[in-house]
Amino acid sequence: DADVTQTPRNRITKTGKRIMLECSQTKGHDRMYWYRQDPGLGLQLIYYSFDVKDINKGEISDGYSVSRQAQAKFSLSLESAIPNQTALYFCATSDERGETQYFGPGTRLLVL
């Protein structure tokens, strides 16, 4: 869905490096989310934001940080990447009711 875009789509990095994943949306939604998906598993919530400057930890926030400087943008950072952070990362948005979430295409991250 082009309403939610993620960059980069694929990234290879080395252990210890700091990297940033970007998410942009044109849906006009206030709420944005970052999820991680490991092979054969469901989605785990890393962080979420209900408005600009609002940041909340999800299930697995350790080793990650986020920034919400504008309504349309929500970035995820890995402060010091480690191999077990190799996964698919999805950004999602929802309206103020927070029920249905709309997902971006994902970023495939490989940490060597």
Partner 1 sequence: GESVGLHLPTLSVQEGDNSIINCAYSNSASDYFIWYKQESGKGPQFIIDIRSNMDKRQGQRVTVLLNKTVKHLSLQIAATQPGDSAVYFCAENREDTGRRALTFGSGTRLQVQP
Scanning 13-21, 64-72, 77-85, 94-102 for contacts with partner 1 by CB under 8 A, the matching segment is 94-102
Site string for partner 1, 34-53 (x = CB under 8 A): ------xxxxxx----x---
Site string for partner 1, 51-70 (x = CB under 8 A): -----x--------------
Q: Could you tell me the maximum CA-CA distance found in the chain, to the nearest angstrom?
A: 39
Q: Give the integer Cα–Cα distance in Å for 23 and 4.
A: 7
61 DSSP 8-state letter = -
Three-state SS at 18: coil
Q: Can residue 90 be called a binding residue for partner 1 (CB under 8 A)? A: yes
| Strand bridging mode 10-13 / 107-111 | parallel
In angstroms, give the least distance from the CB of 83 to partner 1: 22
